[in-house]
Amino acid sequence: MANESRPCPCDIGDRFDYESCGQEVQAEHIKAYYYFMGIKCFHFSCRAICPDFFVGQEAWKLSNDWATFNDWLKTRNAGKIDKEVDVILKYLREQCGAKKIGVIGFCWGGAAVQHLMLKNPHLKTGVSLYGVIRFFEDRSSLLHPTFFIFAEKDEHIPLEQVTLLEQKLKQNCKVDYEVKIYPGQTHGFVHRKREDINPQDKPYIEEGRKDMINWLNKYL
């Protein structure tokens, strides 16, 4: 199992200490991290931007009292990011010349992707990686092609929730979608740090990353 001792790196605010290749930018009231990519991963040149959807609010810390986590989470609703998304889309179109825009999100961000795929007409596609289903479990009429990545042994997203999501998508969704479960993996496996990757999990991690890129290549 991937990273048994710490199955969820994203729920404690891990800082990944890899070299930065982009720059911080200001888009109206939002700070964001912006990076221009060449053709190494995609079939085209593209620009990536990571907005601060918490808008300066403090991130969760390992030293915090976990009894207060749900109250903290309520102030960071993945379904209340539309104002910030509109600002970022405007920045990408007007400052970066973006023509086709897709979204990727992990955990909380994965839930945000589902929200945007249900609501925002200006996006082309999305990839939701272990997005917390319970945030939007009653909504499944996607506007854009969406790829859902889940881990078989995710303590935060039971497989019965994934099965129910698939059933609802099959009943209500009129655009292309895919739900894929990766065997033996735990929450956070696709963005696992190199030093935390067990050899037996590496093929699934690489597969998840490749699947994500292939989906974006298909629709952007």
Catalytic residue among 115, 144, 156, 187: 187
Catalytic residue among 107, 156, 201, 211: 107
Please count the residues of the chain: 220
Catalytic residue among 10, 115, 144, 154: 154
Residue 30 phi/psi, 5-degree rounding, is -115, 135
Q: How would you write 57-102 as a 3-class SS string?
A: CCCCCCCCCHHHHHHHHHCCCCCCCHHHHHHHHHHHHHHHCCCCCE
Furthest CA-CA distance within the chain? 46
Asked if residues 187 and 130 have their Cβ atoms less than 8 Å apart, the reply is yes
Catalytic residue flag (residue 107): yes
CB-based contacts of 26: which residues, under 8 Å, 6+ apart? 32
Percentage helix, strand, coil, to 5, in the chain?
Answer: 35, 20, 45
Catalytic residues: 107, 154, 187
